[in-house]
Structure 1
Amino acid sequence: MKNLWSDRDAKAAVAHYAKQGINEDLALRTYTTRLLGGVPALVQHGGGNTSVKTVMKDLLGKPVDVLCVKGSGWDMAVIEPPGLPAVRLHPLQELIALKNLSDEEMVNVQRINLLDSSSPNPSVETLFHAFLPHKFIDHTHANAVLAISNQPNGRAICEKLYGRKLIILDYMFSGFVLAKKAAEAFRKQPDAEGLLLLKHGIFTWGDTARQAYDRMIRYVSMAEERLAEGRKKIVQAKLPKKIAPLEDVLPVLRGLLAVPTDQDGGFRRWVFDVRGGEQNLAFANGKDVARYSQQGTATPEHVIRIKPWPLILPAPEAGKLEEFAAAARVAIAKFADKYTAYFNRQNAKAEQKKIMLDVLPRVLLIPGHGLVAVGKSRKEASVAADQAETMVEVITRAESIGRFESISERDMFDIEYWSLEQAKLGKGAEKPLARQVAVITGGAGAIGAATAKAFAAEGAEVAVFDLDGARAAEVAKKLGGIGIACDVTSPDAVKAAFAKVVQHFGGVDIVVSNAGNAWGGRIGEVSDELLRRSFELNFFSHQYVAQTAVQIMLKQKTGGCLLFNASKQAVNPGPDFGPYGLPKAATLFLSRQYALDYGAEGIRSSAVNADRIRSGLLTDEMVAKRSKARGVSEKEYMSGNLLKREVKAEDVAQAFVQLAVAQKTTAAVATVDGGNIAAALR
């Protein structure tokens, strides 16, 4: 483990924060907290915590002894001083005299002693930091420490390695009881430089920020050196000669995990994050995967995001997708039964009865591919994937020196069904398009970019296709999606682009087929080449996109939505615009044909016809030319409709969103033109 301390950077941090009125203690506390949080092998996604005991002034200007401790929700890698809220120290220390203190009481007493009531909740381990006398305390869930302590003989390994330098405690739930136990243990072992909580993590302390940090790096490095002695490797199972590709496998799994909702035709879908790599593959392909993967999580709090164990799936053999789907369905059902039995078994012992969470897995192990994390969003799936990779890392290294063993099932349940987590259930409604994956073609243009933004705002995960891959990536990056270079006039390019979407998100639910270009000319005089070129982009590309999307949707068996940009030219052709209007008219009927042919599978298909939208089709130069030809201002030309209002790309985007949300609407045409009777259908 590399020591990242820099005297120059530390001094710079002190100077930087001094300008904000932050004292040196808190400045250095922030600096080393960020050092720890920036190393995934030490801390991940809000895990770990740090503290410093210092003096601050209250509202009256009086000096107060405080504990600045990491606040709930802050990521140590990017923490700032507000993420280390100051709590009056002495009232916290007095709590050690109590025999019992509930979690709710603990949270309340911590909040009422905050110097700033708007601060986040202090860490659940705040009392641990308060009851010990040290000025600086660091806490991480270091992978290496977990690998040596998550063993049947973990205590013996750790005691031999660390001697009396670290206090070794058996695992117990974080909070008041652990804080009292740690303080008692320190009184018996006052020369200790830290504490190792078996199967949970490591604490180090010191008189200075650097001393506490240096000790953390030193003791984690010792664990890494111990693991380097390991020689055992995971024995690999025999797999089929040819594994089915992810783009075939993932939609099947996504469909099997989807849960029908009370709304007709609705599903509660999931988003995936796939992690391959040598170590993940070796783990998923292991001959004994049914043993080592089902022991529990690497560190207790991971259970909140990835459940007590992953789902083990059979290897998907190429050409045998139906057999894989049938076996996967059985495996998912067995997982649900196992989880339900676990809940019922432990809930029967609980003093306060709990509400069962959903019974679906959050991590899938697929031989031949690695692991797949499952979440309500791509962001949530990515966090679960990071924790799943930590699980793989810790278990693999633990198995190299012995045998991985996690905390007990009872302890696992207590973390997963912690009262403070249960209190959050049912809070916060999901957005209308949450858990759905939307593909927008022509996504770098004005209408496409506005549509991608509108879908992301309603909760959808977005994939942006455009001939200009760099611009597609730029649009998608702002929305947390992916941008893909794609020539939609090439069937192979379209299939390859959709395969990337599936590999990234797990599937596809909505497609906005928007790409197009306007070619003009008198229809009796245009060349065959120009007309065919227009049909390739303005009709056949829509067919290639829809056809590919439908095949994915059919594998998912959760329906879907196809949306086409048909343009008002499809029903109200303009003079000298036949090369554009003819294929658009065909696209309008293509939309209705998909509605007719795939409605029984729950796949909806509708279109939007818009007029006079500033975009790649109607440039500012074209607007100026047309308005001049009509003898009106640009504003008058663009608002030349019944409502006398200019229609913008954002208005078209909203029409697409409304059609996507309308679960019982298909074969519809939404007109977005401010009022043009000639283009009105019904």
Structure 2
Amino acid sequence: ALQRANLIDPSSPNPSVEKLLHAFLPHKFVDHTHSTAILAIVDQDDSEALSKKVFGNKMGFVPYIMPGFDLAKAAADVFDADPTVEGLILDKHGIFTFGDDAKQAYDRMIHYVNLAEDFIASHGKPHIEKAALPARLAKPAEIAPMLRGAVAVARGEGRFDRMISDFRTSDAIVDFINSAKIADYAGRGVSTPDLSIRIKTGPMALPAPDADKIGDYKSLIRQHVEKFAKDYRAYFETNDALDDVSRTMLDQMPRLTLVPGLGMFGHGRTLKDAKIASDVGEMWIEAVRGAEAIGDFHPLSKADLFPLEYWSLEQAKLASNKPKLLTGQVVLVTGGAGAIGAATARLFADNGAHAVVVDLDAARATEAAKKAGNGSIGVGADITDPAQMRAAFDKAVAVYGGLDILVSNAGAAWEGRIGELDDATLRKSFELNFFAHQSAAQNAVRIMLEQGTGGVLLFNTSKQAINPGPKFGAYGMPKAATLFLSRQYAVDYGAHGIRSNAVNADRIRSGLLTDAMIASRSSARGVSEKEYMAGNLLGQEVTAEDVAQAFLHQALAERTTANVTTVDGGNIAAALR
């Protein structure tokens, strides 16, 4: 508060934590980076001597001091002792260069980073002893839900703060992570203290996943997560006891997981945060690889890291990311490009979820996902094809690490009196209006069980499941079966924290009720189109957005399952008794 009160413009963004260091130097232009090559040099026991060897007298060296006034004063003292230096190397931290204009400061930054890179390259690649890998590795999609469930923060009574997981791999990543010493490197900590707000005290390293023992890997993941959390609690309690400052411990879950043979997973409450964690992971790998090429990786001690991780100015960088109702959750919506599906995807995304919009029309699915925003994706799939349905769910796992909510919404209506309906039409309707719902639910439950954090199945069952209309038997019968399906899932999977609910909607402008149908039906009844659409107890038209609100309510109602919510403005004939 005091800092903001002294800003020239109190409404401006928070200044950098190194603002005083910039201010104490006499130069108008000051550049600062955490170059991985520089970090490889300063993350050594003999970092000062090594820095002198690489940069000579052109760069000043500042021993590690936590950012703030003391560091700014020390940096100014180093510069004052030799005003001819063109920059400063900050131990365990990074590099500053300065100049009379922006180009000079920038050119100096590039020059000294290049010197560091050339010095590391001259030593060749570090010799990294490889760990033994299983004959057959499990796939990332097999372990992602297990890992995502393990790093979810349990809040008690079946509630979790879930994470999004971003999988990242490349030859360079896998080559390094396959080191026999990867757990040792991970345990040493972060390559620069600023990374602590993104990956805490450092990565978590897992064993390589054996495809032939995948059933055991879930418990193995949880054992490693529990150890990481236990170590983090000890780190907090030990360092918190050293002063009288009142602090609240952050969650103890890892934000970066290294998996030999596969790659790494960045974890975060949003896809953006997860991707940043992965970016930081690549930076960490590059810094450690460079440090090992020229010596031994010895980053800042965790005792010195602690004050920075729990410094209010560092935490302020994340404070603006206030979680929404569905932050950290992933929803898959079938029929996602239609009126109800698109409205549902938008509403869930507005409330923090990442949406996987599935539709037969891939282009429309992508467009609906774009309109939903929040990193949502579109997937084209014929959901009556089990392989394509499976692929849609696999995409959710590949992009976000898992799934929390299914909105099984897709459907279509075929008309005809039931006694005159051919079998092919009836079977076609059952494929889309029942079996596709079952296929979607099976895929969702498969992922949810691996995560172990519960989940929600939501079905669009329609008024026809309760109150059949003339010539709509081909549509109503599979919808009635889907209503029963919803309740059966509630019965069979409630013990796993998986809830199952349905929405019974009617007379919604959509692909099922087109403008032409509205005109025809209103004319047949001798009423206006407006009167027809508002033909309910409330006398109001019901919209796709109203149905989306019902789905959202069911997703948020944590103690509600086997429920059917009617969204029709009031139709007693379709009301559940």
TM-score, normalized by the shorter chain, greater than 0.5: yes
- Counting only pairs closer than 5 Å after superposition, residues 542-561 of structure 1 correspond to structure 2 as 542-561=437-456
Q: Structure 2 CA distance, aligned partners of 1:308 and 1:574?
A: 62
2:398 is aligned, of 498, 503, 513, to 503
1:240 is aligned to 134
SS at match of 1:163: helix
Could you tell me how far 1:556 is from its partner in structure 2? 1.8
Counterpart check, 1:253 vs 2:136: no
Q: Which runs of 5+ in 1 are unaligned?
A: 1-106
1:650 is aligned, of 518, 522, 545, to 545
Counterpart check, 1:324 vs 2:217: yes
Do the aligned partners of 2:29 and 2:101 also contact (CA within 8 Å) in 1? yes
Counterpart check, 1:138 vs 2:31: yes
1:271 is aligned to 164
2:243 is aligned, of 331, 347, 350, to 350
1:599 is aligned to 494
Could you tell me how far 1:226 is from its partner in structure 2? 1.5
Counterpart check, 1:147 vs 2:45: no
Could you tell me how far 1:629 is from its partner in structure 2? 2.6
Do the aligned partners of 2:267 and 2:277 also contact (CA within 8 Å) in 1? yes
- Counting only pairs closer than 5 Å after superposition, residues 48-59 of structure 1 correspond to structure 2 as none
Counterpart check, 1:590 vs 2:488: no
Do the aligned partners of 2:17 and 2:313 also contact (CA within 8 Å) in 1? no
Deviations 1:347-376 (A, max 9, x none): 232352532222221111112221111212
Could you tell me how far 1:635 is from its partner in structure 2? 1.2
User: Quick one: which amino acid aligns to residue 579 of structure 1?
Assistant: A
SS at match of 2:88: strand
Structure 1 176/426 Cα, relative in aligned 2: closer, same or farther at 3 Å?
closer
Do the aligned partners of 1:515 and 1:537 also contact (CA within 8 Å) in 2? yes
Q: Structure 2 CA distance, aligned partners of 1:114 and 1:345?
A: 36
User: Quick one: which amino acid aligns to residue 51 of structure 2?
Assistant: C
Could you tell me how far 1:600 is from its partner in structure 2? 1.9
Structure 1: 4+ residue segments shifted above 4 A: 421-429
- Counting only pairs closer than 5 Å after superposition, residues 326-341 of structure 1 correspond to structure 2 as 326-341=219-234
Could you tell me how far 1:421 is from its partner in structure 2? 4.8
Could you tell me how far 1:147 is from its partner in structure 2? 1.9
Q: Structure 2 CA distance, aligned partners of 1:470 and 1:222?
A: 48
Counterpart check, 1:226 vs 2:99: no
Q: Structure 2 CA distance, aligned partners of 1:260 and 1:352?
A: 27
Task: Report % sequence identity.
Answer: 56
Q: Structure 2 CA distance, aligned partners of 1:230 and 1:530?
A: 72
1:94 is aligned to none
User: Quick one: which amino acid aligns to residue 217 of structure 2?
Assistant: F
Q: Structure 1 CA distance, aligned partners of 2:74 and 2:449?
A: 57
Do the aligned partners of 1:473 and 1:482 also contact (CA within 8 Å) in 2? yes
1:403 is aligned to 296
1:638 is aligned, of 507, 529, 533, to 533
User: Quick one: which amino acid aligns to residue 199 of structure 2?
Assistant: I
SS at match of 1:191: coil
User: Quick one: which amino acid aligns to residue 663 of structure 1?
Assistant: E
Do the aligned partners of 2:358 and 2:365 also contact (CA within 8 Å) in 1? yes
Structure 1 314/490 Cα, relative in aligned 2: closer, same or farther at 3 Å?
same
Structure 1 362/428 Cα, relative in aligned 2: closer, same or farther at 3 Å?
closer
Counterpart check, 1:563 vs 2:458: yes
User: Quick one: which amino acid aligns to residue 252 of structure 1?
Assistant: M
SS at match of 1:667: coil
Could you tell me how far 1:639 is from its partner in structure 2? 0.9
Q: Structure 2 CA distance, aligned partners of 1:598 and 1:122?
A: 50
Could you tell me how far 1:427 is from its partner in structure 2? 9.3
Could you tell me how far 1:526 is from its partner in structure 2? 2.5
User: Quick one: which amino acid aligns to residue 255 of structure 1?
Assistant: G
Could you tell me how far 1:153 is from its partner in structure 2? 2.5
Could you tell me how far 1:404 is from its partner in structure 2? 1.5
Q: What TM-score, normalized by structure 1, do the two folds share?
A: 0.81
1:527 is aligned, of 411, 414, 422, to 422
Deviations 1:624-663 (A, max 9, x none): 2222232322211111111110111000000001111111
1:368 is aligned, of 237, 261, 265, to 261
Count of residue pairs the alignment pairs up:
574
Deviations 1:8-58 (A, max 9, x none): xxxxxxxxxxxxxxxxxxxxxxxxxxxxxxxxxxxxxxxxxxxxxxxxxxx
Q: Structure 1 CA distance, aligned partners of 2:13 and 2:412?
A: 52
1:415 is aligned to 308
Q: Which runs of 5+ in 2 are unaligned?
A: none
1:180 is aligned to 73
Structure 1 615/202 Cα, relative in aligned 2: closer, same or farther at 3 Å?
same
Do the aligned partners of 1:234 and 1:396 also contact (CA within 8 Å) in 2? no
Do the aligned partners of 2:465 and 2:479 also contact (CA within 8 Å) in 1? yes
Deviations 1:313-367 (A, max 9, x none): 1211113223212222222222222222222222232352532222221111112
Q: Structure 1 CA distance, aligned partners of 2:413 and 2:549?
A: 22
Q: Structure 2 CA distance, aligned partners of 1:539 and 1:654?
A: 23
Do the aligned partners of 2:339 and 2:509 also contact (CA within 8 Å) in 1? yes
User: Quick one: which amino acid aligns to residue 556 of structure 2?
Assistant: V
User: Quick one: which amino acid aligns to residue 391 of structure 2?
Assistant: A
1:206 is aligned, of 99, 118, 122, to 99
Structure 1 465/427 Cα, relative in aligned 2: closer, same or farther at 3 Å?
closer
1:171 is aligned to 64
Deviations 1:185-228 (A, max 9, x none): 11111111111112211111111111111111111122121222
Counterpart check, 1:678 vs 2:564: no
Could you tell me how far 1:402 is from its partner in structure 2? 2.2
Q: Structure 2 CA distance, aligned partners of 1:428 and 1:483?
A: 25
1:58 is aligned to none
- Counting only pairs closer than 5 Å after superposition, residues 82-161 of structure 1 correspond to structure 2 as 108=2, 110-161=3-54
2:361 is aligned to 468
Structure 1 111/177 Cα, relative in aligned 2: closer, same or farther at 3 Å?
same
Structure 1 202/121 Cα, relative in aligned 2: closer, same or farther at 3 Å?
same
Structure 1 185/429 Cα, relative in aligned 2: closer, same or farther at 3 Å?
closer
User: Quick one: which amino acid aligns to residue 612 of structure 1?
Assistant: R
- Counting only pairs closer than 5 Å after superposition, residues 415-494 of structure 1 correspond to structure 2 as 415-421=308-314, 430-477=323-370, 478-494=373-389
2:407 is aligned to 512
User: Quick one: which amino acid aligns to residue 521 of structure 1?
Assistant: G
1:298 is aligned to 191
Could you tell me how far 1:308 is from its partner in structure 2? 1.0
1:197 is aligned to 90
Could you tell me how far 1:289 is from its partner in structure 2? 0.8
Do the aligned partners of 2:347 and 2:549 also contact (CA within 8 Å) in 1? yes
User: Quick one: which amino acid aligns to residue 261 of structure 1?
Assistant: R
How large is the Cα RMSD of the aligned pairs?
A: 2.0
SS at match of 2:142: helix
Structure 1 159/254 Cα, relative in aligned 2: closer, same or farther at 3 Å?
same
SS at match of 2:522: helix
